[in-house]
Structure 1
Amino acid sequence: MTIVSTPKRRAWLHAWRLRLIGPTDDSDLARIRRFGARFVGTGLLIFPVALTPLIASESALTDRWWPPVSVLLVTVPAMVVIIATYRRRPTGLTVLATACCAGLLLATLLWFGAWTGAVASEDTTWSVWLVQFPGVPGLLLGLSGHPRLALAYIVIATLVTQTANQLGLDGQIRPELYLGSLLTIALTAVFLAVAVVTVRTAQVLDETRATAIEAAAASSAAAAEDAERTRFATLIHDKVLAILLAIDVGRPSSALAAQASSAVHELDRRGEHPTAGPLDADEFARRIRLAIRSTGVEVDRELSIDPDASRRYPAEVAAALIDAMGEAIRNQARHAGDDASCLVVGDLGDASISLAVVDDGRGFDEADVRPERLGLAIGIRRRMASVPGGSAEVRSTPGHGTTVILRWTDEPTTHAPVAIAVPDGRA
C-alpha cells in the first residue's frame, strides 16, 4: 500500500516556516530561551547599523582598523547566537552569551589601544559607539540562567565604555559623568529582571506540568488498584467465604464442588477484565470508522479486508488496536502542524491485522520526547503490548512526517510489515 506524497506547495510552505520560526519546543523554558536569544541577537545586529553615522563621524579618534574590528566583534557572536536558535535543541546558550559579552568588552578595550589622543567635537555627546548599549549582551547570560554573572557584566561593561567615551570627548576622566552610567545600569537591570523572571516562570511551569502528569498517572494507577482490590474482596466475600461456610462434615456435595471450582477459576482470572464477544472483519472495520470520526480530526482512510477472512477477532485485541489508533490520531492533531494531513491504512487479514496512522507533518526526534509524555509510551506501545501478539512501531524524522504502525498476529511467527511510504519516499 502506498500513500500519495505531500503536494509540493504545502511542503514548500512547511519548509520555509521551519526556516523562519525554527523547530517546535515541547518545553516552555526552551521556547522562552530560543526566542529571547533570537531577540537579543537581532538587537545586537541592529545597533551597529543604526549607529553607522556615529561610527563614521568618530573614526578619526582611533586607528583605521578599530571601527570595522569593533563592529565584527559585536555582530559575529550575535549572528552565531541567532543561528544557534534554529537548531533542534537550543543548547550552549551560556557559551554563546559569554562570547557576545567578551566581544563587546574586547572591542572596548581595543579602543584604548587604537585611540590616537584626539577628542571629539564639542557638539558630540558620544565618542565611542559602544557606550549606547553596553549591557545588552548581558541579557543573554540572564536567559541562560546566570543572573548574578549578567549583572556583574552589565556594571563592568557600562563603566568601561563610559571611561572610553569620556576620554574620547574630553581627553580626561570626569567622575561626575559616571552618574549617567548608574541610570544605564538601572535601565538594563530592569530588562534583566524581566528576562530572569520569565525564565524562572517557564521553568516552574515545566516542573508543575511534569508533576501534574506524574500525579495523574499515580492517581489512575491507585484508582485501578482500588477497583481491583474491591473486585477481589467482593469475590472473596460472595464466593470463597460462602463456600467455606457451607462446608460440613463428610463428603462435599457435587454442587458445592462445582461452586468451588468456579471460584478458583475466577481467582485465576482476577487480573483480567470482562470484555464483549469477538468481532468479525466487517464489524471491526465499522468500529474503526466510528473511532476515527469520534476523534474530530479530518482523516482519510483506506481499509482492506481479506475476502477469505472468516475468523472473528478477540474483543480485547480490537479494543487495543482502536484505542492506540485513536491516540496516534490525536497525537497527530496536536503535534504534526496545522497544514499536515493524516491517513489511516488498514489491512484486516485472517490471522493478522495491521493499522498504520501516517501524517506528513513536522515529525520529531524520539530523543527529544520528554519522559512525562505518555502518549507514545503508554497510549500506544504499552497498550499494544498488553494483548498477546500485539506490537507498535513508530517511525518519524524531523520535517518528514510520522508513521505509527500497529500490528496484531495470531501466529507465533513474525509477519512482514505492511509497506508504508511516508511523504519523503521512504517505506
Structure 2
Amino acid sequence: MATDASPAPRLTDRSARTGERTPGDAELRITRQFAIFVGAGYFAYGALCLGNIAKSFDYMAGWWAFGAPIVVFGSGIAVGVVAAVNARHLVRPAIIVAVIAYLVAALLVPVAWKNGTYSDERGLWFSQFPGLVGVAIGVGWPRGRALLYLLVLTTVATFMSRVVRPSDLVVPLGPDLAFAFAYSMTFTAAVIIGARTARLLDETRADAFHLAARAAAARARESERARFDALTHDGVMTALLGAARMGNTDSLRSLASNTIAELGVEQSASYSVPASAAIAQLQSAVTDIDDTVAFTDTRHPPLGLTTYPQDVVRTMSAAMAEAVRNALRHAGADAVIAVEVTVSANRLNIQITDNGVGFDLGRVPPHRLGLAVSVRGRMEQLGGGEATIDSALGRGTRVTLTWARPS
C-alpha cells in the first residue's frame, strides 16, 4: 500500500472564546524534540558541573550546595523525560518547574553564602548554562513573554553569580549583563524561530488539505451534474421529441411513463440509495479501476427497505476507489488486493486489504498529504464517517472505511 498515507493534518487554530491556539502536528513534534534536548542538556551539564558543585560546599551552606543542584538538574532532566514518553500535557508544567527552580536557586545565593569567595572565573555552576535554560523558556512560552522571562532570569543569575566572585574577577556590570542575555537569547530565538516555522508548515498543510477537499467535492458535484444532464437529454428530450412527432399514442405514454419513473428514481438517488444499489455502486467503482480486485459483500439482515444517503455512498465509493488505486500503485506487482463490504441497517463498512510490501506509518514524511486528503479527508467530512489505516513493513496494509448512521 502507499507510503504516502500521512495522517490528516492537525489544524492550527485559535479559539474565538479564549484566544488559545491549538498547535499542529509539526509544531508539536519540534517542541517535543526541543524539550528532549533540554533534558539531555541538563543531564550533560550536571555531569560537567560536578567539580564546581563540590567546590560550592566551601563557601555555600550545605543545604544549598547539596539541595540546589538536585532540584535544578532534576527538574530539568524531568522535562526531557516527559517529552520522551510523549506526555505532551506535562511538558509545559515541567518547564515551568525547571525555570522556577533555576531562578529560586539563584535568588537563594545571598542567603546561603558563607562569605567565602570562589576563584573560578566561570562563577557558580548555575551561571554556566543560561543558554540551556533559554531553550526551555523558548519551548514553554510565546515570543514576547519568553524574551521577558529570559531577561529576568539572566539578570538574576548574573547578579547572584557576582556575589561569590572576588573583586579581581568581577567584570563591569553592563557588559556582563549584556553578554549573558545576548548569549542566552541566541538559543531562545532559535527555538522560537523553529516553532514558528513548524507552525507555518501546519497552516500550509491545513490550507492544502481544505483546498484539496473542496476540489474533490466540486468534482463530485460536477460529475453528478453531468449525469443528470445526460439523463435529461436521453429521457426528457427523447420524450418531448416523441410527443412532437408521434402525438398522443400508447408508445408515447409508455415512453413518458418510463422517463418520469427514471427521473423519479434518479431524484431519489440524490438523497438515498437502497442497500442493494449501494453495494452495486461500490462494486462498479472497484471493477472500473481493476476487475481483478476481489470484491465480496456481507449483508446483515433485516435490511428490509434500508437506504443510505447518496452522499455517503458516493463519498465512500470515492474513498474506496482511491485506496484501491493506492494499493495498485504501491503494494507490489504480486500483491493480492481485496475489497470486502459489510452492510447493515445503520452501518456501512468497507475494508481494502492487500498482502503487499506495507509501510511504516511512523516514518511517513509530515509534508505528504497522500491518503490524508483522498481517504481520511473525505471520510472525516462525512457525518458519522471514519477511516483507519493499518500497515507494517512486509505485512501488507488494511484500510477500513466506516459510516454509522447518526442517532
TM bracket (short chain)? 0.5 to 0.7
Measured after TM superposition, the shift of residue 117 of structure 1 is: 0.7
Q: Which stretches in structure 2 are left out of the alignment for 5+ residues? A: 1-22, 271-276, 297-312, 343-348, 363-368, 391-395, 403-407
Mapped to 1, the partners of 2:247 and 2:51 lie a distance apart of: 111
Change (3 A) 1:176 1:199: same
Q: Tell me if structure 2 keeps the 8 A contact 1:324–1:379.
A: no
SS of residue in 1 equivalent to 2:164: helix
Matched, 1:119 2:124: no
Measured after TM superposition, the shift of residue 230 of structure 1 is: 3.0
Measured after TM superposition, the shift of residue 196 of structure 1 is: 0.8
Partner of 2:29: 31
Partner of 2:66: 68
Partner of 1:102: 100
Taking only aligned residues, the RMSD between alpha carbons, in angstroms, comes to 5.1
Measured after TM superposition, the shift of residue 278 of structure 1 is: 7.8
Matched, 1:134 2:130: yes
Tell me which of the two structures has the higher relative contact order, counting C-alpha pairs closer than 8 angstroms and 6 or more residues apart: 2
Change (3 A) 1:92 1:357: same
Measured after TM superposition, the shift of residue 204 of structure 1 is: 1.5
Paired residue type of 1:40: V
Partner of 1:247: 243
Mapped to 1, the partners of 2:110 and 2:66 lie a distance apart of: 15
Change (3 A) 1:355 1:156: closer
Q: Which stretches in structure 1 are left out of the alignment for 5+ residues? A: 1-24, 292-302, 304-315, 334-341, 365-369, 386-390, 408-427
Q: Tell me if structure 2 keeps the 8 A contact 1:288–1:322.
A: no
Paired residue type of 1:269: E
Mapped to 1, the partners of 2:282 and 2:150 lie a distance apart of: 72
Q: Tell me if structure 2 keeps the 8 A contact 1:392–1:404.
A: no
Paired residue type of 1:113: V
Partner of 1:201: 197
Partner of 1:413: none
Partner of 1:146: 142
1:145-188 superposed Cα distances (whole Å, 9 cap, x missing partner): 42222212222222222222222113799672341221221122
Change (3 A) 1:329 1:114: farther
Matched, 1:188 2:184: yes
Q: Tell me if structure 2 keeps the 8 A contact 1:101–1:153.
A: no
Give the 5 Å matches for 1:1-400: 27-88=25-86, 90-121=88-119, 124-170=120-166, 176-244=172-240, 246-247=242-243, 252-267=248-263, 268-269=265-266, 271=269, 287-288=292-293, 323=321, 326=324, 357=353, 373-374=372-373, 377=376
Measured after TM superposition, the shift of residue 232 of structure 1 is: 2.1
1:69-106 superposed Cα distances (whole Å, 9 cap, x missing partner): 12112211122211211334522333222111101111
Measured after TM superposition, the shift of residue 248 of structure 1 is: 5.5
Q: Tell me if structure 1 keeps the 8 A contact 2:43–2:77.
A: yes
Mapped to 1, the partners of 2:282 and 2:118 lie a distance apart of: 93
Q: Tell me if structure 1 keeps the 8 A contact 2:213–2:373.
A: no
Mapped to 2, the partners of 1:221 and 1:84 lie a distance apart of: 42
Mapped to 1, the partners of 2:198 and 2:350 lie a distance apart of: 41
Measured after TM superposition, the shift of residue 243 of structure 1 is: 2.8
SS of residue in 1 equivalent to 2:292: helix
Partner of 2:366: none
Mapped to 2, the partners of 1:347 and 1:139 lie a distance apart of: 51
Change (3 A) 1:76 1:403: farther
Change (3 A) 1:196 1:252: same
Change (3 A) 1:328 1:46: same
Paired residue type of 1:55: I
TM-score by length of 1: 0.61
Mapped to 1, the partners of 2:142 and 2:193 lie a distance apart of: 12
Change (3 A) 1:172 1:264: farther
Report the identity percentage: 23
Q: Tell me if structure 2 keeps the 8 A contact 1:393–1:405.
A: yes
Mapped to 1, the partners of 2:87 and 2:359 lie a distance apart of: 19
Mapped to 2, the partners of 1:327 and 1:144 lie a distance apart of: 44
Paired residue type of 1:119: T
Mapped to 1, the partners of 2:282 and 2:401 lie a distance apart of: 22
